[in-house]
Amino acid sequence: MTAPTAADTERPLESLWRGMLFYRVLTLVSAVVGVLLALDEYASPLGAVAVLGAMTLWTALTGYAYLGSRPALRKRRGRLAVVDVVVTVAIMGTTPLVQTPAQLAQDAPVMGSIWTPAAVLACAIAFGVPGGLAGAAAVSAALVVFQARLQAELADIQLLALAGLTIGFASTVLRRSAERLREAIAAEAAASERERLARAVHDGVLQVLGFVRRRGAELGGAAGELGAIAGEQEFALRTLLTTGPALVDAHGRRDLAAALRMLASARVSVSTPAHPVELPAPVVDELSRVVGAALANVALHVGPDAPAWVLLEDLGDGIEISVRDEGPGIPGGRLAAAEAEGRLGVARSMRGRVLDLGGTITCDTGPDRGTEWIVRIPRKVRT
C-alpha cells in the first residue's frame, strides 16, 4: 500500500479535472471533424470555422486554468466553471447563425455538439451535485431554445442531468474522503509525537515527579503537600502524553470531551461520553476555562486535596457540564456579596463566559452537601 501523497489530501479532485479535460479535448476533435466534413452544408462556412476556433482557444485556456499548479488558479476554478457554462451557451447560441434552415429542420447537432457537456462536468467537480445539476439545467435550456424541439432533446437532457449528478456526487465523496484522510494523518502524527515525547519524559520528568510524590508521602507535613502537588502534575503529564490535546479539525471544531479529560488529576475525576462532542474551538476553550475556574474554587475554598467530579453529557440539541464537590457548600448570599464587593471571579470567569455563549449556569449548594455548578449550552452556540 502506497503512502498518501499531497494530491490525495490537499488536491483530491485533480484526477477528475484531468479526466474532464481529456474528455473535452477528445470531443473537440470529434466536433471539429464533424463540422469540417459537412462544411459545405453550413449557411456560413466561415462562421462555423470561427466557432471551431473559439472552441479550440477556450479549450486551451480552460486546460491551463483548470490544471494550473499555482494556488491562485486552483482557487478560481469555481468561478471559471461558471464562466465555462456561459461560454458554452454562447457557442450553442451561434447555431441559428451558421446553420441552414434545412440543418435545423433535420435536427442537426448544435454548434459544439458533444463538446458542450464538459462545462456541466466542470461545474459538477467544482460545486458537487448542486453545481452539476445547475450546469446541466443551463446547457439543457440552451439546447431546447436553439433547437426548438423539446421532445427530441429529452434524451440529451437526461444524459446531461445524469452526468452532472454522477460527477457531482463523485467530487463530494472525494472531498470528504480527503478530509478524513487529513484528520487521520494528523492524528497519526500527533500519536507518534506523543510516543516519542513519552519515552523521553518517562526517563526524566515522570521519574522525578514520582520520586517526589513517594518521598513526600513518607515525610509528611510540608513535604507531604509538595509530594501531593508533584503527584497531581505527574498524573496530568501522563494524561497529556497518553491522550494528547484536543485537535482542531478542518472546520475549526474541537472535541470538548477530550479537552475536559485534560483537566483530570489525582483528585479530579472526569466522565465524558465515549464519542467526540465537537463544538467550535473557541467555545471549547471558553468552556474549559469555566470548568477550570470551578475546580480552582474547589481547591481554594474546600482544600487542595478536596476531590471534585466533572461530568459531561451530550443532550443532542445541547450539552451539559456539571462540576461537583463535597465541601461545606456556599453560604446563602455569599456570591452576591462577593460580586457587590468587587470580587468578580465567579461572575466574570464563569457566568460571563457562559452567558456570552448563549447558555445558562446554575449553582446547587447548601450546608454540608457540597456545591454543584451546572452549565448548559445549546448545540448551536454563539461564537
Q: For 133-149, how does the pLDDT look when each residue is reduced to its tens digit (9 = 90+)?
A: 999 999 999 888 877 56
pLDDT value, residue 54 = 94
Mean predicted confidence (pLDDT) in 322-346? 65
Query: What pLDDT score does 320 carry?
Result: 94
CA distances from 101 to 41, 44, 108, 153, 168 (A): 10, 12, 10, 18, 37
Q: How confident is the model at residue 56 (pLDDT cuts 50, 70, 90)?
A: very high
Q: Which residues pair with 373 in a beta bridge?
A: 323, 363
- What pLDDT was estimated at residue 6? 47
pLDDT computed for residue 1 by the predictor: 44
> What's the pLDDT at 48?
92
On the question of pLDDT at 232 being above 80, the answer is: no
Cβ pair 322, 346 in contact under 8 A:
no
Closest CA to 24 of 79, 67, 76, 71: 67
Please list, in sequence order, all residues whose beta carbon lies within 8 angstroms of the beta carbon of residue 352, skipping any fewer than 6 positions away.
Answer: none
Q: What integer pLDDT is reported at residue 47 of this predicted model?
A: 92
pLDDT at 4 over 50: no
Q: How confident is the model at residue 319 (pLDDT cuts 50, 70, 90)?
A: very high
Section 17-42 average pLDDT: 91
Percent of the chain at pLDDT above 90? 28
Q: Comparing 334 with 48, which gets the higher pLDDT?
A: 48
pLDDT value at residue 60: 94
Task: Pick 279 or 303 by higher pLDDT.
Answer: 279
Rounded to an integer, what is the distance from CA 290 to the centroid of its chain? 26
Residue predicted with more confidence, 372 or 179: 372
Quick check: 315 pLDDT over 50? yes
**Rounded Cα–Cα distance for residues 24 and 43 (Å):** 26
Burial code (b: 16+ CB inside 10 Å, e: under 16) for 62-73 equals bbebbeeeeeee
Top pLDDT among 83 and 104 is at 83
Whether 182 has a pLDDT exceeding 90, the answer reads: no
Q: What is the pLDDT of residue 136?
A: 93
Q: How far is CA 311 from the centre of its chain?
A: 27
In the three-class reduction of DSSP (H, G, I as helix; E, B as strand; rest coil), residue 365 is classed as strand
What is the structure's pLDDT at 89? 93
Instruction: Return the higher-pLDDT residue of 108 and 256.
Output: 256
Asked if pLDDT for residue 37 goes beyond 70, the answer is yes
Query: What is the arithmetic mean of pLDDT over 153-182?
Result: 87
| Residue 312 confidence (pLDDT) above 70 | yes
pLDDT at 3 over 80: no
Judge whether residue 8 has pLDDT over 60.
Answer: no
- Among 200-214, 302-316, 317-331, where is mean pLDDT lowest? 200-214
Q: Is 375 exposed, middle or buried (0-12, 13-18, 19+ CB in 10 A)?
A: buried
Average pLDDT score over residue span 142-169: 82
Q: How confident is the model at residue 99 (pLDDT cuts 50, 70, 90)?
A: confident
pLDDT at 178: 82
Instruction: Say if pTM beats, i.e. exceeds, 0.75.
Output: no
> How confident is the model at residue 51, as a pLDDT?
93
Q: What is the pLDDT of residue 19?
A: 92
Residue 149 contacts by C-beta under 8 Å, 6 or more apart in sequence?
107
